[in-house]
Amino acid sequence: MNYKMKETLGLGSFAKVVRGVPLDENREEVTDEEVAIKIYEKRKLCPVNRDTVKREIQSLRKVRHKNLVSLLQTVSTTTHVYLVMTFGGGCSLEKRLASWTD
C-alpha cells in the first residue's frame, strides 16, 4: 500500500515519525484511516543501531494487543527504513502517562 506523508509527529536521534494517510488505487487519500510512519535514515545508523532497529521490527511483529501500536508494514529502500504502524492518536506514551498523574 502507498501512503501520503503528512506532518511530523516526533523527532528522535535516529528516526522521525510522521502521520500518514493511505492512498487508494487512484492515489486518492483514504482519510478515515491514519497511520504513523517511523522513518530511519540508514546513513545515520551505526551497526549497533541497525541491530537495534532489526530487534524493534522483530518485537513489533510479535506483539498484538488492542491497546498497543501494531506494525502494519515495513519498507526498506537503499537510503531509508520505514515502519508503518497503527496511529496512536498523536500523543507519546510518556505524555499520556504524565497526564494521568496530574
Per the structure, the count of domains in the chain is 1
Residue pair 77/86 in contact by the 8 Å Cβ criterion: no
Pairing mode, strands 35-41 and 80-86: antiparallel
pLDDT at 17: 94
Quote the domain boundaries for residue 18. Answer: 2-101
Question: What CATH number is given to the structural domain containing 19?
Answer: 3.30.200.20
pLDDT at 71: 95
Q: Which of 7, 1, 3 is nearest to 90 (CA)?
A: 7
What residues of the chain score a pLDDT lower than 70? 90-96, 101-102
pLDDT at 92: 63
Q: Which DSSP symbol is given to 65?
A: -
Instruction: For 5, list phi and psi in degrees, rounded to 5.
Output: -85, 135
pLDDT at 102: 56
pTM: 0.83
Distance CA 66, CA 87 (A): 12
Cell of 78: 537503499
Question: What type of residue sits at position 33?
Answer: E
Residues 6+ apart with CB under 8 A from 54: none
